[in-house]
C-alpha cells in the first residue's frame, strides 16, 4: 500500500483553500462515468455530549438543522465511542480497531504521571502508527478522493493525515476570534474548505471528513448568539452548538444544491461524551443528564455520543435505533457501502458493519468492551468496562472493585448491583479480563511514589463521577474550583512521559532477511507479515542502526489463529536472548502488540533474530513488525 509523504499542514485559511483547489484539480483522477458508489461525509464534533442536540431532548439548545437531518435519516440512541477521550476515539474510528489493541488509549501526548496516582499508566503509542491502515487509505486506493478538514490529533510531522491517506488536508486554527464571518472554533473556515472540495469532486466518489474543534474548550462564540442563548445551562456553550448546527446546515445545502443527496452518506457524531466538570474558566461546559459523568469516564455519560446517519437509498426517514453500536463500526460500514471487502484489504477489524441497521434490520447481540488504563484531566481513573445485553460492569484497576448496573432499569448507573449479583459480576469480570488478553491490552502498574494526601482530595473526598449539576454552569462552577486547582497542580510535571521517547526503531516484515524453507513475506495489504511459518527451523533476522545507546523495550506485533498458540520463540539481540510464548488472537492477521523485555543496545550497527523453538500448532505465528522503544539513553 502506497502512503503519501507530505509533511506540512497549511494553517492560513485562504492559502488552505487555494491548496485544496489546486490539489483537487491537478491531483485527482476522474471516476468512471458509471461509478455509482456513494460519497461519504463524516462530521465529528469535539466533546459534544449525547444529549446536547434538541433532537436528543435538550430543550435549551437550538439545533434545527441537525434535528432535520435526524428526521431525514436514522438517529441512534445507544451509540458508544470506542474511548471517552479524543485521540483514541479518533484512531478507532479511522482504523476500525479497539484503542486497547492499538496501544493508544489516552489523548496525545498523554497526561503525565504524578504521586496523586495509585498506579502508573502504561506507555502508549505517541501517534497513530503508519503501519495501521486507515479508512481514508482504503477508500483512496479504491478510487475515492479523500479530504480532511479540521482537527487531526493523531500525530505530528510525519504522522499527519497526508501520511494516512488524505489527498487534501486543511487544518484551520482551532481557536478563532468570533466575527460575523467566523465562529470561535474555525467552524466556517473548515466548512468553506469542505464545500470547495465537494464542489470540485462532484463527479467522482469522495470521502469528506470534517473533525470540528467545536465545542472543545476554550469556550467562545459570537456575542449575539451568546445573548440569544442567555437562558441556557451555559449560554456560550449553547451558542457554540448553534454555530456548529449552522456549519452543518451549510454542508447539507452544498450537497443538496449539487444534486448529490441521493448518493451521499452523511454521518454526524462526536468523539466522546460532553465535558461535565470544571476544567477551564467558564466551565463545566454541559451536563449529560440522565447519564453519569462525562468525558474521561467509562460511565455512560463519557461513552455515549449522538449519532445521526442519512443515506437516502438505504435509510427510512425518521428512524430511531436503540441497538448498541460503537464508532469502530463506522469503518467496516463505510467500506461495505463503497464495495470494499475488509478481509481482502485490511484484515480482521474490531468493529462490525451496521449497514443492516441503516436498512432497518437488526444485528446479532454482541458484547462490547472498553479499556481505559489512564488517568484523565477530568478526574477519571484507570478502569475497564463491559456491556452484555442490559448488563454493564465497570472494573476499577486501582483496587479491583467492580460495579454492576442493569441499564434497562438504571441508565444513570446509581444502583450498584454487584453485591447482590456476585455470580453475574464475576462472570463479566472474567470475560473482560479474557478480552484484554485477547487484544493485547496494556495494564497500569503500582506507583512507588503514591501520595494518599494528594490522591484523596481529587478522587475520594470529591469524586467528579458523582457531580450533580446545578441549574446552570455558573452555579455549578464554585463547588469545584478548589478541586480543579488541586488537579491542575498535579498535572504540571511535564517531565513524566507516558508516550515513548523519540528514537524508536521499527523493523517491518517486508525488510526481514528470511532463512526459511516455507516461511516467507506475504505482501498483501491485509497481511503484510512473515507468514506460512509452519516449520520450526525457519527464522528471520534484521540489520539496523541504533540511533543512541541505551535500554530499549522490545515489542513484537504478532497474530495467531485459535488452536495454534503456545509456540516458544527466542529473540536474539546484542548477545542476549529473550523468549516469549505466542498468544492466540483469534486470527493470524488479528494483530496484537506485546512487550517481551528490555535490552541494552550500543549506538550503531545491530542485528536481531527471531527463532522459534517449538511449534505445537499448524504454524508458529504471523509477525508484522518489531519495535525497539528507547527507555533510557546514555548522554
Q: What is the dihedral of CA 139, 142, 143, 147, to 10 degrees?
A: 10
Minimum mean pLDDT range among 35-39, 91-95, 542-546, 565-569 = 35-39
Q: Which 3 state secondary structure label does DSSP give 221?
A: coil
Hey, what's the cell of 249? 446546515
Residue 497 pLDDT: 72
What is the tens place of the pLDDT at every residue in 128-156? Answer: 999 999 999 999 999 999 999 999 999 99
Secondary-structure breakdown of the chain: helix, strand, coil percentages, each rounded to the nearest 5: 25, 25, 50
Cross-strand partners of 404: 393
The residue that leads in pLDDT, 632 or 112, is 112
CA 86 – CA 350 distance, rounded (Å): 18
Radius of gyration of the chain (CA): 24
What does the DSSP 8-state code read for residue 498?
S
**Burial tier of 408 (Cβ tally within 10 Å: 0-12, 13-18, 19+):** exposed
Using the predicted structure, report yes or no on whether residue 220 has a pLDDT greater than 60: yes
Examine the residue annotation and report whether 8 is marked as an active-site residue of this protein: no
Hey, what's the cell of 610? 527471531
Length of the chain: 635
Mean pLDDT, residues 108-123? 94
CA 285 – CA 293 distance, rounded (Å): 13
Task: Residue 114: name the closest of 439, 381, 461 by CA.
Answer: 381
Task: Residue 216: name the closest of 269, 165, 283 by CA.
Answer: 283
Hey, what's the cell of 479? 463547588
CA 541 – CA 562 distance, rounded (Å): 26
Catalytic residue among 16, 86, 208, 560: 86
| Cβ–Cβ under 8 Å, residues 206 and 197 | yes
Using the predicted structure, report yes or no on whether residue 12 has a pLDDT greater than 60: no
**Burial tier of 238 (Cβ tally within 10 Å: 0-12, 13-18, 19+):** buried
Percent of the chain with pLDDT over 70: 93
What does the DSSP 8-state code read for residue 47?
S
Buried b (16+ CB within 10 A) or exposed e, 32-64: eeeeebbbbbbbbbbbbbbbbbbbbebebbbbe
| Cβ–Cβ under 8 Å, residues 491 and 483 | no
Chain centroid to CA 332: how far? 15
What is the tens place of the pLDDT at every residue in 53-89? Answer: 999 999 999 999 999 999 999 999 999 999 999 999 9
| Cβ–Cβ under 8 Å, residues 217 and 49 | no
| Cβ–Cβ under 8 Å, residues 112 and 440 | no
Place of cell 497542580: 489
Using the predicted structure, report yes or no on whether residue 97 has a pLDDT greater than 70: yes
Task: Residue 293: name the closest of 372, 391, 212 by CA.
Answer: 372
Residue 313 pLDDT: 87
What is the tens place of the pLDDT at every residue in 317-348? Answer: 999 999 999 999 999 999 999 999 998 999 99
Can you spell out the DSSP letters for 168-204? EEE---SS----SS--TTSHHHHHHHHHHHHHHTTTS
What does the DSSP 8-state code read for residue 300?
H
Q: Which 3 state secondary structure label does DSSP give 513?
A: strand
Mean pLDDT, residues 29-37? 61
Place of cell 479474557: 434
Confidence of residue 490 (pLDDT cuts 50, 70, 90): confident
CA 530 – CA 620 distance, rounded (Å): 10
Q: How many other β-carbons are positioned within 10 Å of the β-carbon of residue 574? A: 13
What is the tens place of the pLDDT at every residue in 177-218? Answer: 999 999 999 999 999 999 999 999 999 999 999 999 999 999
Examine the residue annotation and report whether 587 is marked as an active-site residue of this protein: no
Hey, what's the cell of 380? 477519571
Confidence of residue 496 (pLDDT cuts 50, 70, 90): low
Using the predicted structure, report yes or no on whether residue 633 has a pLDDT greater than 60: no
Place of cell 485559511: 13
Residue 35 pLDDT: 78
Place of cell 468493529: 351
What are the structural domains of the chain? Answer: 13-29+38-108+134-365 (3.40.720.10), 383-444 (3.30.1120.10), 505-633 (2.60.120.260)
Task: Tell me the pLDDT of the chain averaged across its residues.
Answer: 93
Omega into 290 within 30° of 0, i.e. cis?
yes
**How far does the chain reach from its first CA to its final CA, in angstroms?**
38
Buried b (16+ CB within 10 A) or exposed e, 347-374: bbbbbbbbbbbbeeeebeeeebbbbbbb
CA 98 – CA 139 distance, rounded (Å): 20
Using the predicted structure, report yes or no on whether residue 30 has a pLDDT greater than 50: no
Residue 21 pLDDT: 42
CA 245 – CA 250 distance, rounded (Å): 9
Mean pLDDT, residues 489-503? 76
Give, to the nearest 10 degrees, the angle between helix 187-200 and helix 235-257.
10
Q: Which helix (H) or strand (E) holds 254?
A: helix 235-257
**Angle in degrees, CA 115, 153, 284, rounded to 5:** 60
pTM: 0.93
| Cβ–Cβ under 8 Å, residues 120 and 381 | no
CA 204 – CA 37 distance, rounded (Å): 9
Catalytic residue among 103, 153, 287, 455: 153
Residue 500 pLDDT: 77
CA 405 – CA 398 distance, rounded (Å): 20
Percent of the chain with pLDDT over 90: 90
Question: Across the chain, how many H-helices and E-strands are there?
Answer: 16, 26
Using the predicted structure, report yes or no on whether residue 439 has a pLDDT greater than 60: yes
Cross-strand partners of 147: 168, 208
Residue 162 pLDDT: 97
CA 416 – CA 383 distance, rounded (Å): 16
Using the predicted structure, report yes or no on whether residue 556 has a pLDDT greater than 70: yes
452 CB contacts (<8 Å, ≥6 apart)? none
Mean pLDDT, residues 273-300? 97
Residue 490: phi, psi to the nearest 5?
Answer: -80, -10
Confidence of residue 4 (pLDDT cuts 50, 70, 90): very low
CA 138 – CA 342 distance, rounded (Å): 9
Confidence of residue 493 (pLDDT cuts 50, 70, 90): low
Task: Residue 396: name the closest of 388, 406, 404 by CA.
Answer: 404
Amino acid at each position: 500500500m502506497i502512503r503519501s509523504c507530505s509533511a506540512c499542514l497549511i494553517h492560513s485559511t485562504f492559502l488552505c483553500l487555494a491548496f485544496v483547489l489546486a490539489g483537487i484539480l491537478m491531483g485527482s483522477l476522474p471516476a468512471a462515468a458509471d461509478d455509482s458508489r456513494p460519497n461519504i461525509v463524516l462530521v465529528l464534533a469535539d466533546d459534544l455530549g449525547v444529549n446536547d442536540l434538541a433532537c436528543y431532548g435538550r430543550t435549551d439548545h437550538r439545533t434545527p438543522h441537525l434535528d432535520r437531518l435526524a428526521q431525514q435519516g436514522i438517529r441512534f440512541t445507544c451509540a458508544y465511542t470506542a474511548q471517552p477521550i479524543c485521540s483514541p476515539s479518533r484512531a478507532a474510528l479511522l482504523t476500525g480497531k479497539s484503542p486497547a489493541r492499538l496501544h493508544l488509549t489516552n489523548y496525545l501526548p498523554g497526561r503525565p504521571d504524578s504521586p496523586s496516582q495509585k498506579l502508573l499508566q502504561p506507555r502508549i503509542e505517541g501517534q497513530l502508527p503508519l503501519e495501521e491502515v486507515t479508512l481514508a487509505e482504503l477508500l483512496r486506493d479504491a478510487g475515492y478522493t479523500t479530504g480532511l478538514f479540521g482537527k487531526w490529533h493523531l500525530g505530528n510531522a510525519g504522522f499527519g493525515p497526508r501520511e494516512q491517506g488524505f489527498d487534501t488536508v486543511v487544518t484551520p486554527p482551532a481557536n478563532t476570534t468570533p466575527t460575523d464571518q467566523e465562529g470561535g472554533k474555525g467552524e466556517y473556515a473548515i466548512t468553506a474548505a469542505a464545500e470547495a472540495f465537494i464542489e470540485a469532486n462532484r463527479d467522482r466518489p469522495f470521502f469528506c471528513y470534517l473533525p470540528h474543534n467545536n465545542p472543545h474548550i476554550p469556550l467562545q462564540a459570537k456575542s449575539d448568539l451568546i445573548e440569544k442563548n442567555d437562558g441556557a445551562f451555559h449560554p456560550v456553550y449553547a451558542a457554540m452548538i448553534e454555530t456548529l448546527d449552522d456549519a452543518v446546515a451549510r454542508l447539507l445545502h452544498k450537497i443538496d444544491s449539487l444534486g448529490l443527496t441521493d448518493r451521499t452518506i452523511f454521518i454526524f457524531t462526536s468523539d466522546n461524551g460532553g465535558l461535565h466538570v470544571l476544567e477551564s474558566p467558564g466551565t463545566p461546559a454541559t451536563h449529560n443528564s440522565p447519564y453519569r459523568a462525562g468525558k474521561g469516564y467509562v460511565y455512560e455519560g463519557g461513552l455515549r455520543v449522538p449519532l445521526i446517519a442519512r443515506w437516502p437509498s438505504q435509510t427510512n426517514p425518521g428512524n430511531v435505533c436503540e441497538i448498541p453500536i460503537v464508532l469502530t463500526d463506522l469503518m467496516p460500514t463505510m467500506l461495505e457501502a463503497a464495495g470494499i471487502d475488509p478481509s481482502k484489504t485490511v484484515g480482521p477489524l474490531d468493529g462490525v458493519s451496521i449497514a443492516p441497521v441503516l436498512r432497518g434490520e437488526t444485528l446479532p447481540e454482541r458484547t462490547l468492551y472498553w479499556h481505559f488504563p489512564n488517568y484523565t484531566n477530568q478526574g477519571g481513573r484507570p478502569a475497564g468496562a463491559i456491556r452484555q445485553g442490559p448488563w454493564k460492569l465497570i472494573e476499577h484497576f486501582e483496587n479491583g472493585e467492580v460495579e454492576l448496573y442493569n441499564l434497562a432499569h438504571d441508565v444513570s448507573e446509581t444502583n450498584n448491583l454487584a453485591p447482590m449479583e456476585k455470580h453475574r459480576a464475576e462472570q463479566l469480570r472474567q470475560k473482560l479480563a479474557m478480552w484484554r488478553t485477547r487484544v493485547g491490552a496494556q495494564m497500569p502498574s503500582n506507583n512507588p511514589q503514591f501520595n494518599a494526601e494528594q490522591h484523596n482530595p481529587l478522587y475520594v473526598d470529591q469524586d467528579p463521577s458523582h457531580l450533580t449539576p446545578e441549574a446552570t454552569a455558573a452555579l455549578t462552577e464554585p463547588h469545584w474550583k478548589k478541586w480543579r486547582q488541586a488537579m491542575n497542580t498535579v498535572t504540571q510535571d511535564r517531565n513524566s512521559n507516558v508516550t515513548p521517547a523519540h528514537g524508536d526503531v521499527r523493523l517491518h516484515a517486508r525488510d526481514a532477511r528470511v532463512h526459511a524453507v516455507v516461511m516467507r513475506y506475504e505482501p498483501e495489504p491485509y497481511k503484510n507479515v512473515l507468514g506460512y511459518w509452519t516449520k520450526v527451523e525457519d527464522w528471520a533476522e534484521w540489520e539496523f542502526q541504533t540511533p543512541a545507546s541505551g535500554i530499549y523495550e522490545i515489542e513484537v506485533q504478532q497474530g495467531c489463529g485459535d488452536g495454534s498458540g503456545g509456540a516458544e520463540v527466542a529473540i536474539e539481540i546484542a548477545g542476549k536472548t529473550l523468549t516469549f510464548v505466542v498468544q492466540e488472537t483469534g486470527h493470524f492477521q488479528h494483530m496484537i502488540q506485546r512487550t517481551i523485555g528490555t535490552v541494552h543496545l550500543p549506538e550503531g550497527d545491530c542485528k536481531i533474530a527471531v527463532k522459534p523453538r517449538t511449534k505445537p500448532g499448524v504454524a508458529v505465528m504471523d509477525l508484522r513488525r518489531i519495535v525497539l522503544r528507547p527507555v533510557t539513553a546514555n548522554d
